[in-house]
Chain A
């Protein structure tokens, strides 16, 4: 760990930022020294991103001031922030997929050969940065061809190319594979050691423990504590965030395993770019069982889930059956009618409709059922009662049922999706990354819900890149590598090391 000897490069004093109906930041104080990683920790909606957007000039605070290297500065726009040597890696990438890496880096910069672009020069600059921090990436490929990890490198290069001294990373690891996380951390440490100041935001406590020099905890927009990895541990951090004791792993009562509910045999699926993504997979999940799918992302998990959900066509010879009924030929709706439910990996894209109200998202799947409609007409009274029931059951924090879903925080949206998917006691659930980007409190809640359903006899597939989650939740763990099942191991006695080897494709 580097010692925090660097001078203070950023100081945010009593920052207050309101949104309609929300006090996102409540006179927050926050500072960053040169050569340190300062972590912001907090539940969904705690105000982390807001605070950073204020720093980056995307929002103007109602109160408070920002000092850069001691001098009070009013940051009016991202461009202004960039000129102040501040860089930001957003929660959602700010890249133009159809432009090349070099073009994305060159955007907004003065070209040497105006009116023409000067991509050669930019490429050279990129090469230098790549060498310095080991950020290997080809400047001439289009962004859409890059993996998530590579895209993130481009984001970092963009910041460094603009000579950023203070770099903000908002949940940079949420979308990365364990390997990519390690590479990223190596890079970040290099940057820290070269005297840059880093702000790190993550919901994964072991990452926070591994990378941080200092940790500041936000709750409901207020700073509720500051600490360092040395003087705390994961469960301490967790309770600081949530304000109470939290169980990091749900306790699972022993239920006796029932008959097979989801049976997959010889399932093969093509990926987006043609190549085989899922390759002759055989799986069986029984009533009252949670099967965890571990694996480095991009090894066929997404395709597997989508194939089961009926969103992706399977190759001939594949069979999928739910409660003994062959569903391979059915469309998504019929599979759901057959007892399937599905929590997609991409929450905001596939899971919920941002412009729909909370209520509308809660009935997105069952809107056509006779419970909610008769003779093609909605029964609004029934819908109302049903939805407010779910909202209270799942402790969804929302002003009203009519609130546009997009204005809720990630955790709450995920709760809505889960509530919807569990509403009519499905026999099989496919849950992809159920708690990615979701704070501990919400994650704990979601886990316990999944376990309850399992106890009532649901067959569950939990796909996650978070080994802690898989180990904590699953009864059996199947490890995917290159679209093949490397092995299926009972959770008892399974170790991260063992799984890590399997994920890397090494069979013991």
Chain B
């Protein structure tokens, strides 16, 4: 379960004293520069921070990887970002991570749990480099690794309640990939939210593939013919399902990144991962001389998970306010997602 309080709370603290840490960053800057000088001069020149992302799917997948890319883009401060995407194969990722480290990149985001093993091998060889590992909830005892993970079930739960509210048939269809990863957390949260809010029939289908768009489309079709009037789903292949939803005028809920662009008038809302908070903390910590050793969770509470409503969809204001309430409740832990 994602919402065990401790990490949630202390990370929120970390967010609160954001202000001063940023000041701290200003004056620390000089010395950290010196500190950096010997191993990598020009990377820091002009206050530029060099970052790299190694990620499993495409950088514009409208999902997991894009959420990270967008987040870094949203960071203030002058960042020189390099990306190696579409590398699920661990050996490839390892090569890339090592390559960045050798090239003197300061902060390397290994955006995939499966990279953990490689990090454990590589990180010790580059004590000056900060490695950020997600989604994961331990730093493998290394002090130059930060870890992060999303409490995907939280947004899932919220979206589920909205789905139940706008569904007339009370029949909701969910299109999943392989039953694994934070897809499961999101989907279970979603299902619970829907059920708690009166959905009678929540049908979850895992197609068995992250890539089979056609299968996802047919799954959505099956849901609709079985009477579902609201759909959601997780992972890259859902574009197929969104397409079917659009063709049938069925509302859709997205996750990981804002999927409104796929169906501007049918995507009700998306749970969007905002890693800015985490990343900012990472940069601050690094500036403060801490290269790692902390775990961050993003959740509704600390603003890492954001429910982005799509103005293109005419959502009943009442439902929206109710949803906002749920968000607050889930955020402060008074409402469990049951995951």
Q: Do chains A and B touch in the complex (CB under 8 A)?
A: no
Mark A residues whose CB is within 8 Å of B. Answer: none
